[in-house]
Amino acid sequence: MITVSLNGVEFFAFHGFYPEEQLIGGQYQINVEVVFEPAGELAADELNYTVNYEVLYNICCKEMKKPRKLIETVANSIIDEIKKHYPFIERIDVSLKKMNPPMPGPVNYSAVNITYNKAATN
């Protein structure tokens, strides 16, 4: 099995349950990890035998541009897009952090973590 990950990917986006959050926006951080069996021999040194982390980044970018009320919805959409692009992936972990969420006191971040496990869905 191979693991490919992106960590600490930062975005400014307009997610939030409250209308003002979708107006003023905020900072977010994403971690994505995927686990899979390689599609071919890694010694061939070919990108199409693995998961391209640039594609993972672009999927995150695309989904972060769509304002949503819940960060859970965003994280789940990222997983759905990764599954469409790479159906051979066995596991996907997405962690989405909302930096400095609007609270009455200081909070570094709130977060959701969603895991897709192909074996559990078959």
> So what's the pLDDT on residue 122?
63
Q: pLDDT per residue over 56-65, tens digit each?
A: 999 999 999 9
Residue 26 identity (one-letter amino acid):
G
What is the 8-class DSSP label of residue 50?
A: S
pLDDT in tens, 36-47: 988 777 777 777
Q: Residues 66-82: pLDDT tens digits?
A: 999 999 999 999 999 99
Total structural domains in the chain? 1
Residue in this structure with the two tokens 């040194």, named with its chain if needed: 45
Are 15 and 98 in contact by the 8 Å Cβ rule? The answer is yes
- Select from 99, 100, 102, 82 the least CA-distant residue to 91: 82
What pTM, to 2 d.p., does this model score? 0.90
The residue range of the domain holding 97 is 2-121
Mean pLDDT of 85-110: 94
- CA gap 46, 37 in Å, rounded: 14
Q: Report the CATH number at residue 99.
A: 3.30.1130.10
